[in-house]
Structure 1
Amino acid sequence: MDHKEFVSGFDRTRLAHMQERQNRAGLVHLFGHVCLIAALALYVGLSLPFWYLAMVPLGIALVFLFTLEHEATHKTPFRSEWLNEAAGHVSGYLILQPFLWFRYFHLAHHRFTNIPGKDPELLAGHKPEGWAAYVWHVTGFPYWIGMTAQLVGNALGRDPGEYVPKSARARVKREAQRMLGIYGLLALTFLVTDLLLWIWVLPLVIGMPFLRLYLLAEHGRCAFVANMFENTRTTYTNRIVRFLAWNMPYHVEHHAIPNVPFHQLPDLHKEMKGHHKVIAESYTAFTKDYLRELTS
């Protein structure tokens, strides 16, 4: 059975219930994520004992806003449209990833998941094969370089990617111009204080390798086929990771039925048990397996 057969055989009433969006679950989760970032940023900002060590969890909490932005591309974290859009845009600003552009990029990824020549994630080189490529990938620098180039290119009106329809390209351009303008204003604060360096910029750089390792497990070493049960991996992990990643470790579930909000994915996982083709027992286990298969 492939994912399409599974979905077609799913009880319609049960599926409709699972696809219901709500503000409460999203706002509670968002409140926890924001409070964690704020508490760690305050700890670093006040230079409390061993504050420099706190930049590691701060960076991880910041970069994992990617998973909120990702969820917002599907308009599922909240019932209110404006909350989804606000969460997506703010998350994008904080991690240097334009939200509107990413929505088109990501929807193309869902349309052509793990299909060579069509999936934009594969075209962007998100699945390193050799040791040198793997180390370079995990550092996070390809992300920062790529996103900076994408942002500047979008702002200049260059081709943002064939997955962005012509009708949206003017908006993608304006989005990038606004982002660059805000970053320019924030850069002026460095004339007065270097606070943003310690509570935002450096933590992002420190945290990005953790996100890169996490994201590799979603489709890395999966089959180049259309069946979501084979081209996507669900990874078992602890509550902390599931919280930071907005339940996206249940990634087969998300790809099979993208309209199911994050808070319903654990229940969908229970319904889907027995159909998974690719599962990792942990991110550590996946990483070890990935490293064993790397070429020189």
Structure 2
Amino acid sequence: MAQLSQPLLERDALASLNTLRDGPAILRLICHLLTIVLGGLVWAHQGWPLALRLLGLLLCGIGLATCFAPLHECGHRTAFRSRRLNDTVAWLAGLLSFYNATHYRRYHQWHHRYTHQPGLDPELEDPVPTNAWAYLQEVSGWTWWTGKLTGYRRLLWGDISALSYLSPEVIPQVRRSVRLQFAVYGALALASLVGGNGFLLWFWLLPLAVGQPFLRFVLLAEHSGCSFSRDGTENTRTTLTNPAVRWLMWNMPFHAEHHLYPSLPFHALPAANGPIAPHLRHCDRGYLAVHRRLLRNLPALHLPA
């Protein structure tokens, strides 16, 4: 877990911010699903100008890709008061964003326990973009797609006993969850073929591929270029961005606050930013500024030997 030399939030303030409420997540989830549906409807409307339809495709795709955000929040079981509701929404959001919630929750717990620590944080097992070509592959989503396909093949049929974040007793649960997920994909693919409409391709795979660069652009900023120490004020970045990005990402841009106090629900993170921000080594304004800084010194992203 993130280390702190002293608490950054007073006990009373922390207790107040830690209050779980269903309303913010219900509103956010409805808006998120409407973004996908409305974007998809515009994309599907053959009679409208191509530019408008492509805008709908982009909107639908960003909505699908950023379903990672409710997956993440519900994976922490802090979005809703009900554990069952959190788990259900997490699984469905993972279905839409091509993640498996059952696997991701264990993986992410390990990431929080060993944030940005080489050899321990499973996120650091992913390729690090240390040159311009690798950076383009990362932000395009290519690295993510290839990694997902390899990872799912292993989760479905391979040996996963060596994954440190999966205890032996949860491996069967993860296998069942992944197989159910792919059974749903298979049913949708079959329905698309029978119906002759290509629904799975045109209204899920293609939009998800189009929206993926937006998500990669945001996620790459969370820890890249930060310290490899255990200090939570140094190993994670908060990015101050516009309300639309914060809304779509369920306040994940307040990422250092989330790592320092992972029990805080997403709707409490903006309030937590005030007292915490002065103590952060990486509290940057805008994703473009962050990525310009990363691009100037990509070799520095190499993991320490």
Q: What residue number does 1:236 align with?
A: 240
Residue of structure 2 aligned with 1:194, choices 193, 198, 213: 198
Partner of 2:159: 158
Preserved CA contact (<8 Å) 2:100 2:177: yes
SS in 1 for 2:263: coil
Amino acid corresponding to residue 13 of structure 1 in structure 2: D
Aligned to 1:219: 223
Checking the alignment, whether the CA contact within 8 Å between 1:96 and 1:148 is kept in structure 2 is: no
Q: Report % sequence identity.
A: 35
Please give the secondary structure, in 2, of the residue aligned with 1:229: coil
Contact 1:45–1:195 (CA under 8 A) maintained in structure 2? no
Q: Please tell me whether residue 182 in structure 1 is matched to residue 184 in structure 2.
A: yes
Tell me which stretches of 4 or more aligned residues in structure 1 moved more than 6 Å: none
Q: Where does 1:21-170 land on structure 2 (aligned, <5 Å)?
A: 21-47=20-46, 48-49=48-49, 50-125=52-127, 127-156=128-157, 158-159=159-160, 161-170=163-172
Are the aligned partners of 1:157 and 1:173 in contact in 2 as well (CA < 8 Å)?
Answer: no
Pairwise CA distance, 1:157: 5.2
Work out whether residues 66 and 248 of structure 2, in 8 Å CA contact, stay in contact via their aligned partners in 1: yes
Matched, 1:4 2:4: yes
In structure 2, the CA distance between the partners of 1:135 and 1:273, relative to structure 1 (3 Å rule), is closer
8 A Cα contact 1:131 1:295, kept in partner: no
Q: Is the 8 A contact 1:63 1:207 kept in 2?
A: yes
Distance 2:121 2:145 in 1: 20
Cα deviation, 1:180-201, whole Å, max 9, x if unaligned, reads 1111111112322123322211
CA contact (8 A) 1:19 1:259 kept: yes
Unaligned runs of 5+ in 1: none
Q: Is structure 2 residue 174 aligned with structure 1 residue 172?
A: yes
Q: What amino acid maps onto 2:132 in structure 1?
A: W
Q: Distance in 1 between matches of 2:37 and 2:76?
A: 26
Deviation at 1:53, TM superposition (A): 3.0
User: Could you say which residue in structure 2 is the equivalent of 1:13?
Assistant: 12
Residue 247 of structure 1, aligned match among 251, 258, 275: 251
Q: Distance in 2 between matches of 1:279 and 1:272?
A: 10
TM-score by length of 2: 0.91
Partners of 2:74 and 2:86 within 8 A in 1: yes
Partner of 1:274: 278
How many matched pairs?
A: 293
Alignment partner, residue 303 of structure 2: none
State the Cα distance separating 1:102 from its structure 2 match. Answer: 0.5
Q: Secondary structure at the match of 1:5?
A: coil
1:52 partner SS: helix
Cα distance per residue 1:115-162 (max 9 Å; x no partner): 11111111122x311122111112212212222222222122521622
- Alignment RMSD, CA only? 1.7
SS at match of 1:274: helix
| Structure 2: distance between partners of 1:179 and 1:144 | 17
Gaps of 5+ in 2: 301-305
- TM-score with structure 1 length normalisation? 0.94
**In the aligned structure 2, how far is the partner of 1:87 from the partner of 1:281?**
31
Is the Cα–Cα contact under 8 Å of residues 98 and 151 in structure 1 kept in the other structure?
no
Q: List per-residue Cα deviations over 1:225-278 (Å, max 9, x = no partner).
A: 001110000001000000000001001100000000000000000121311111
Return 158-167 or 240-249, whichever deviates more.
158-167
* Local SS of the residue matching 1:128: coil
Kindly provide the amino acid, as one letter, of the partner of residue 43 in structure 2.
Answer: V
CA contact 1:155–1:176 (8 Å) conserved in 2: yes
Give the letter aligned to residue 217 of structure 1. A
How far apart, in 2, do the equivalents of 1:52 and 1:262 lie?
31
Matches of 1:10 and 1:280 in 2, distance apart? Answer: 21
In structure 2, distance between residues paired with 1:253 and 1:6: 14
Aligned-residue offset at 1:294: 2.5
Partners of 1:280 and 1:12 lie apart in 2 by 27
Q: Which amino acid aligns with 1:237?
A: T
